[in-house]
Amino acid sequence: MSEFYFSCIECGTTFSLSENIYRCPRCGDLLEIKVAVDELRGRVDFEGLRRLPLSVWRYAPLLPIADRLKIVTLNEGGTGLHRCRRLGSLLGLEHLYVKNEGENPTGSFKDRGMTVGVTRALEVGAKRVICASTGNTAASLAAYSAKAGLETIVLIPSGKIAYGKLAQAIVYGAKIVQIRGNFDEALKIVFEICSRNREIYLLNSINPFRIEGQKTLAYEVCDQLSRQPDYFIIPVGNAGNISAAWKGFTEYYELGQIEAKPRMVGVQAEGAAPIAEAVAKRRYTIKPVEKPETIATAIRIGMPVSWKKALRAIYESEGTAITVSDEEILEAQSLLARLEGLFVEPASATPIAALKKLKEGGYLSRDDVVVCVATGHGLKDPDVVSRLYEKPVELEADVSSIERFLGLAEKEVAVDSPKPAC
């Protein structure tokens, strides 16, 4: 495991993975797990690796888990990269793809991080795990820790998570606390609980092992395309996933597996957009949003913990960040479902909503290879559909009234004529 070590993104101090830490013990900033690329380059058989089924653990040699017998898996990763011809032709994009992370075991990209994070929890001997969540992290953690036989605690903002996600956490048997506050407050409390109770293992995306699992999103997209995308468009909430994907692309590039790195485009909802605001002003710090608000509850976050990593991903890649309104999000959700057969939750429709603006603004061209990440399944949030979409009609159970409703021409009632006797 010497090819993996913690490194502080600010002061650069390095630490062995044998230490059980989430933040830099010296300056308190974010940690990342560095992969000693030069050591791995000659040692990993990428051709052999690509003959294995597409999945998170296909990339095991690039993941910092020492004991493979401990791996906690529900078969995560290996999600579809869908070519979207109908939506693409509407928007004037020839090579538009959606990476559908809703195909993961609990219906979101979080499973990539949890398979690695919960395995690490076992490695450090944890018995209890905890997270704050807008819903998907809670559902995923509850599932993986159930499989591992660990106790799960989740803190969620009361009344502000989609019912499908809450149902998952309940059924998987998590201890759920709904707080009278938002996600940012829940996360602060979780940090404090973990610093006062060192035996409880923290599984929010500040934990670098989560990021390691999530970086496989980028590896998979490159392997599916047999090249790198030109643009990678992804929703941003707590800013873990954009940081993870950028790490994945950077490593794949340094390992000689792709020829260039994509531009990263972060998408936020208008009412919860501290990163997009910073990028618009070319700033290197963010101004937290006190009262974040959006229909996309998954990304209703005003103080993204990994903001520094996200800004670096966007600036280093020469990408950008953009906001979309709730109305644009719902329109995009419906468009993706009706044109491509992909039903995603509102947060996951934000990249689709952004496409129109990016194309019209001249940021994207017809020939660009564009990948949008659909982070979570539409069934997670059935309330949005029942509240905001037209209700289906209800009719009497009789053929003619249904035909009339369908606009089918009225017909004479057919009477079978008796067959002539031979």
Look at residues 14, 16, 345, 29 and name the one whose alpha carbon lies nearest to residue 164: 345
Q: Does 322 bind ligand F0G (CB under 6 A)?
A: no
Is 236 a binding residue for ligand F0G by CB under 6 A? The answer is: yes
| Per CB under 6 A, 93 contacts ligand F0G | no
Measured from the CB atom, the residue of 239 and 352 that comes closer to ligand F0G is 239
Nearest distance, CB of residue 265 and ligand F0G, angstroms: 13
**Interacting stretch for ligand F0G, rule CB under 6 A, among 3-11, 62-70, 342-350, 403-411?**
342-350
Q: Which of 136, 145, 250, 320 binds ligand F0G (CB under 6 A)?
A: 136
User: Counting contacts by CB under 6 A, is residue 104 touching ligand F0G?
Assistant: no
Cβ-Cβ contacts under 8 Å for 55 (sequence gap 6 or more): 75, 76, 77, 78
> How many C-alpha atoms does 414 have within 13 Å on its Cβ side?
1
Binds ligand F0G by CB under 6 A, chosen from 216, 241, 257, 320: 241
Segment interacting with ligand F0G (CB under 6 A) among 20-28, 283-291, 340-348, 360-368: 340-348
Cα-only R_g, the chain: 23
Give the nearest distance from C-beta 306 to ligand F0G in angstroms.
7
CB of 298 to ligand F0G, least distance (A): 3
Q: How far apart are CA 238 and CA 182, in angstroms?
A: 13
Instruction: Name which position in 115, 133, 145, 228 contacts ligand F0G (CB under 6 A).
Output: 133
**What six digits make up the tokens of 230?**
């030109």
CB-based contacts of 366, cutoff 8 Å, min separation 6: 92, 93, 94
Q: What is the DSSP string of 370-398?
A: EEEEE-BBGGG-HHHHHHHSPPPP---S-
Query: Would you list the DSSP string of 348-376?
Result: GGHHHHHHHHHHHTTSS-TT-EEEEEE-B
Under the binding rule (CB under 6 A), the answer on residue 235 touching ligand F0G is yes
According to CB under 6 A, which one of 240, 262, 271, 302 is a site residue for ligand F0G? 240
Please identify, using beta-carbon distances, which residue of 8 and 269 lies nearer to ligand F0G: 269
In the region spanning residues 362 to 401, those forming contacts with ligand F0G, defined by CB under 6 A, are 375-376
Please give the residues from 250 up to 309 whose contact with ligand F0G meets the rule CB under 6 A.
Answer: 298-299
CB of 101 to ligand F0G, least distance (A): 8
Nearest to 248 by CA among 16, 37, 10, 31: 37
Question: 363 by DSSP, 3-state: which?
Answer: coil
Q: How far apart are CA 244 and CA 179, in angstroms?
A: 28
Binding to ligand F0G in span 148-187, by CB under 6 A: none
**Smallest gap from residue 378 Cβ to ligand F0G (A):** 10
Stretch that binds ligand F0G, among 75-83, 145-153, 235-243, 392-400 (CB under 6 A): 235-243
Pairing of strands 4-8, 14-15: antiparallel
Q: Confirm or reject binding of residue 352 to ligand F0G (CB under 6 A).
A: no
Give yes or no for residue 320 binding ligand F0G (CB under 6 A): no
Enumerate the H helices of 124-162 as residue ranges.
136-148
Answer yes or no whether residue 108 interacts with ligand F0G by CB under 6 A: yes
Question: What pairs with residue 129 in β-bridges?
Answer: 152, 201
Per-residue contact string for residues 185-214; x = within reach of ligand F0G by CB under 6 A: --------------------x---------
Beta bridge partners of 269: 324
Q: Which of 342, 347, 352, 372 binds ligand F0G (CB under 6 A)?
A: 347
CA–CA gap between residue 4 and residue 140 (Å, rounded): 25
What is the helix (H) or strand (E) element at residue 128, kind and residue range? Answer: strand 128-132
Rounded to whole angstroms, how far apart are CA atoms 140 and 172?
9
- If you ran DSSP here, which 8-state letter would residue 108 be given? B
Q: Alpha-carbon distance 33 to 262, whole Å?
A: 21
Query: Whose Cβ is closer to ligand F0G: residue 5's or residue 113's?
Result: 113
What is the nearest approach in angstroms of ligand F0G to the Cβ of residue 51? Answer: 31
- Least distance (Å) from ligand F0G to the CB of residue 131? 7
Cβ neighbors of 218 (< 8 A, separation 6 or more) are 232, 244, 245, 246, 247, 248, 249, 252
Residues in contact with ligand F0G, total (CB under 6 A)? 21
Residues 28 to 87: which contact ligand F0G by CB under 6 A? none
Closest CB 237 distance from ligand F0G, rounded Å: 3
- To ligand F0G, the closest distance from the beta carbon of 214 in angstroms equals 8
d(CA 400, CA 409): 10
Site residues, ligand F0G (CB under 6 A): 108, 133-137, 205, 235-241, 298-299, 345, 347-348, 375-376
